[in-house]
Amino acid sequence: MIIRSGRDAAYRQLADLLRAEITSGRIRPGQLLPYEKRLQQEYGVGRGTVRRALQVLREEGLVVTERGYSTRVRESQERERVAVPRGAVISIRMPTEAERVELGIEPGAVVPVAVVTVGGRVRGIYAGDRVELTTA
Amino acid sequence: MIIRSGRDAAYRQLADLLRAEITSGRIRPGQLLPYEKRLQQEYGVGRGTVRRALQVLREEGLVVTERGYSTRVRESQERERVAVPRGAVISIRMPTEAERVELGIEPGAVVPVAVVTVGGRVRGIYAGDRVELTTA
DNA sequence: GGACATTTGTACGTATGTATC
DNA sequence: CGATACATACGTACAAATGTC
């Protein structure tokens, strides 16, 4: 139930409700969320509010939205282990558009990258949803 | 100059223009961006488009917006170096809401975290915009 | 391949609430 | 207190991608 108040924005409340559906397992990875129009009707809010809420979940990396299709819960993926040499420096940040393309990160997915440098030289860039780094 | 086209959304173009102002140093850290209304007039776009563009920059951690005041360029932060012990496993992902609060990540900023575990035990969680990890 | 309905993406305007100065 | 500026929320319209027939 969404209640209008200055304290808690409607889009945040909706995001909380949908997040609970996902983390509780009522909507499982790969499954579709209700369409935007359905969410509007079900929760009695405008489309902008629905879209804002979905955006929050996208930013958390919980869901992926495909235009003309729908929004679905992201599959949690097995992560490959990558060994990092001693003396390396690891930076964590969001990827540039070029890096997204390079790494094949889906549009709409919020995936951080790890940049491994040794002596100032970049040794590798890894997508956070596919890799774990281990120290040798 | 912003040109309407299906290829490149107006809000992305505006974000690109403003980002260039910042990265080129024409607008320096701590300085204010033009007010939303000013941006509307200057670039001939609606308010939603301006806000969407500013949101992009907030998500990139480039600017900070204060309600009732304005949007300013964020002070660039030096990253602290954190040593990671040998045999550690580093996961990179987006933070939960609780972790955001714990780490003091500003609302709207899209900042990944590194989770360092040794033998399955969590040894530390670090915000990507404030630390670099180094292998001992 | 085209025609169509559905769904998400972008963009606009407008109104109201809330924080800052 | 008023003026200004950002936050939220609504409605509307059209564009673009998808799936189906």
Residues of chain B falling short of pLDDT 70? 5-6, 77
Task: Give the tens place of pLDDT for each residue, A61-117.
Answer: 899 999 999 999 998 767 889 999 999 999 998 887 778 888 888 777 788 999 999
* Phi, psi of A87, rounded to the nearest 5 degrees: 85, 0
- pLDDT value for B6: 62
Q: Where would I find the beta strands (DSSP E) of chain A? A: 63-66, 70-73, 80-84, 89-93, 113-118, 121-127, 131-135
Calculate mean pLDDT across residues A33-62: 94
Tokens read off for A96:
């540039």
- pLDDT value for B16: 92
Q: Which of B57, B80, B117, B133 to mutate to test the interface with A (most CBs of A within 10 A)?
A: B133
- pLDDT value for A16: 94
Residues packed against strand C, CB within 7 Å: A 5-6, 35-37, 47-48, 51, 54, 65-71, 108; B 4, 9-12, 44-49, 52, 66-69
Contact B116, B124 (CB under 8 A): yes
Contact B57, B50 (CB under 8 A): no
Evaluate if residue A133 carries a pLDDT over 90.
Answer: yes
Contact B114 A113 (CB under 8 A): no
Looking at the DSSP bridge assignments, the partners of residue A122 are A117
Task: Give the tens place of pLDDT for each residue, A32-44.
Answer: 999 999 999 999 9
- pLDDT value for A6: 64
- Between residues 64 and 103 of chain A, which touch chain B (CB distance below 8 Å)? 79, 81, 84-94
Query: Taking CB atoms and an 8 Å cutoff, what residues of chain A touch B131?
Result: 92
Considering only CB atoms, A132 lies closest to which of B59, B89, B132, namely: B89
Radius of gyration of chain A (CA): 18
Task: Give the tens place of pLDDT for each residue, B5-19.
Answer: 667 889 999 999 999
| Closest CA relative to residue A91, chosen from B76, B59, B113 | B113
Q: Cα(A74)–Cα(A81) distance, rounded to whole angstroms?
A: 21
